[in-house]
Amino acid sequence: MNNNSKLLLQAQKIIPGGVNSPVRAFGSVSGVPRFIHEAKDAHVWDEEQVQYIDYIGSWGTAIVGHAHPEVVDAVCHAAQNGLSFGAPTADEICIAEMIQQIMPSMEKIRLVSSGTEATMSAIRLARGFTGRDNIIKFEGCYHGHSDSLLVKAGSGLLTFGHPSSAGVPKDLSRHTIVLPYNNVAALEQLFAQQGDSIACVIVEPIAGNMNMIPASNEFVQALRSLTDKYGSILIYDEIMTGFRVALGGAQSIHGITPDLTTVGKVIGGGMPVAAFGGRADIMECISPLGNVYQAGTLSGNPVCVAAGLKTLEIIQRDGFYRLLSARTQELSEGLCKLAREAGLPFSSRHIGGMFGFYFITGLPECYEDIQKADLQLFKQFFHAMLARGVLFAPSAFEAGFVSAAHSPEIIADTLSLAAEAFTEISREI
Ligand SMILES: *Cc1c(COP(=O)(O)O)cnc(C)c1O
């Protein structure tokens, strides 16, 4: 038995399923999850010392590459000055100002420790500000695991949501309305019927949690105009897309100014930092200024903020996004070309440093479309690549991430390994 298998057995005895977050368990691809021992630049090594080219990148946080020396130095330096104070610091102001410069819609910002906290707090704030209870989310979008957001669509199009997890009270899920993504007509109909009851709409402006599916221009325009018309708050959940699809996130691509934005992942550079922010008049409703309560023992933790500040500094250097986008494009278009040459149903998208690939003909536009992807082919491809030393997300419903450390040579290596993998799986059809 190899070290990964041994560790899995040991982990399963003490940690439910052996993992601290479900997708890590390889449930949808089967097999033994790799226990990672070390990561550097574009690579990770497992407990068998096997090297992998990594396209998970800690789910997008590792945008400058793993263990970037400048980020590691910043963390070590901060740690020597104390791990946590539970009091305000100068660096918190620096990172908030830096985020604000990059995303001007975030007029005021509060730091938290996870994306889940950021979206949960933004929704509480929207409810407090509007005095309304109902919220809208979209099918296939993920916004963390707070109760109000673990809700799936009911049977009819306009019915209230049902809990998507045990332990979420039905009464609570009744306040979450789940609509199909990229469907302007459904959104218009819902607002026409009960727009006055809607506190907020929360959206992944480029969805990355049902694989990668961008919102259409029409859809984001409708989101902005309907929320304006009915006095609802528009929340852009840019926890994945912020500093990833472009420096200024999806909102800079769409030319949309949301009322509130949530960010995470990249802003911590691999450490637990997330934030929510937006219109000053809304943000001022947060305690201690207003009566919407929100707090955190480790919020703005100095060691984490040091990693985030250095990461944000690096990504603002000349040419960062030009190179990142070029390499992501090469990968995404290369995979598409090779898969089609092998006669497989396949398509792919990329924006900035984020990509999606789907075993499907044509491009998916919503959750229903992505459900048609060939999961068996995905699974075979995933394992064919893993066996060749390339680690993609272990699910057909996750996006992929390229970092600045993925050199042209690494992308070329990935593509030649993918050519072998596609040929192998096309033989098995
Ligand atoms: C990752 C993610 C979250 C949750 O963030 P956590 O830090 O895992 O709690 C929320 N929304 C989106 C869009 C995400 O990608």
How far is the first Cα of the chain from the last one, in angstroms, to the nearest whole number?
Answer: 31
pLDDT score of 243: 98
Taking alpha carbons only, the member of 31, 71, 61, 66 closest to residue 51 is 66
Q: How far is CA 8 from CA 76, 85, 315, in A?
A: 31, 36, 36
Domains in the chain, start-ordered, CATH in brackets?
A: 3-67+318-428 (3.90.1150.10), 69-315 (3.40.640.10)
Mutating to test ligand 1, I would choose from 112, 117, 143, 210 the residue with most ligand atoms within 8 A of its C-beta, which is 143
Give the separation between CA 62 and CA 266, rounded to whole angstroms: 7
- What's the mean pLDDT in 55-75? 98
pLDDT over threshold 80, residue 158: no
pLDDT over threshold 60, residue 157: no
Give the residues across from 246 on adjacent strands: 242
Q: How far is the CA of 3 from the centre of ligand 1 (A)?
A: 30
pLDDT score of 155: 62
Taking alpha carbons only, the member of 149, 92, 24 closest to residue 7 is 24
pLDDT digits (tens, 9 = 90+) for 84-130: 999 999 999 999 999 999 999 999 999 999 999 999 999 999 999 99
Please give the number of the atom of ligand 1 that sits closest to the Cα of 237.
Answer: 13
Q: Is the Cβ atom of 61 under 6 angstroms away from ligand 1?
A: no
Give the residues across from 358 on adjacent strands: 347
Please give the number of the atom of ligand 1 that sits closest to the Cα of 141.
Answer: 13
Average pLDDT, the chain: 96
Q: How far is CA 177 from CA 174, 186, 229, 263, in A?
A: 7, 11, 18, 23
Residues contacting residue 106 through CB under 8 Å, at least 6 positions apart: 99, 100, 261, 263, 275, 277, 278
Q: How far is the CA of 383 from the centre of ligand 1 (A)?
A: 26
**C-alpha 95, offset from chain centre:** 20
Q: Is the Cβ atom of 393 under 6 angstroms away from ligand 1?
A: no
Confidence class for position 246, pLDDT limits 50, 70, 90: very high
Over its C-alpha atoms, the chain yields an Rg (Å, rounded) of 21
Please give the number of the atom of ligand 1 that sits closest to the Cα of 207.
Answer: 13
- What's the mean pLDDT in 49-59? 98
Q: What percent of the chain has pLDDT over 70?
A: 99
Residue nearest to atom 8 of ligand 1 (CA): 115
Which tokens belong to 333?
């278009």
pLDDT digits (tens, 9 = 90+) for 336-378: 999 999 999 999 999 999 999 999 999 999 999 999 999 999 9
Judge contact between 68 and 288, C-beta under 8 A: no
- Other CB atoms within 10 A of residue 90 CB: 8
CA geometry: angle 401, 362, 222, nearest 5 deg: 75
- What's the mean pLDDT in 307-333? 98
Which tokens belong to 49?
């010392």
Q: How far is the CA of 27 from the centre of ligand 1 (A)?
A: 20
Confidence class for position 219, pLDDT limits 50, 70, 90: very high
Please give the number of the atom of ligand 1 that sits closest to the Cα of 272.
Answer: 7
Confidence class for position 156, pLDDT limits 50, 70, 90: low
Q: How far is the CA of 142 from the centre of ligand 1 (A)?
A: 7
Mutating to test ligand 1, I would choose from 23, 63, 119 the residue with most ligand atoms within 8 A of its C-beta, which is 119
- What's the mean pLDDT in 301-330? 98
Amino acid at 76: C
Residue written as tokens 């407090």? Answer: 128
Q: Is the Cβ atom of 139 under 6 angstroms away from ligand 1?
A: no
Q: CA torsion sign, 419 to 410 to 43 to 318? A: negative
pLDDT over threshold 90, residue 428: no
Q: How far is the CA of 197 from the centre of ligand 1 (A)?
A: 26
Mutating to test ligand 1, I would choose from 58, 117, 142, 395 the residue with most ligand atoms within 8 A of its C-beta, which is 142
pLDDT score of 120: 98
Q: How far is the CA of 283 from the centre of ligand 1 (A)?
A: 21
Burial category of 289 from C-beta neighbours within 10 Å (exposed 0-12, middle 13-18, buried 19 and up): exposed
Residue written as tokens 């070390």? Answer: 38
**According to DSSP H, which parts of 26-105 are helical?**
57-60, 69-80, 90-102
pLDDT score of 429: 73
Residue nearest to atom 10 of ligand 1 (CA): 143
Kindly list the catalytic residues. 142, 237, 265
Judge contact between 84 and 301, C-beta under 8 A: yes
Please give the number of the atom of ligand 1 that sits closest to the Cα of 274.
Answer: 7
Give the residues across from 203 on adjacent strands: 236
Q: How far is the CA of 92 from the centre of ligand 1 (A)?
A: 21
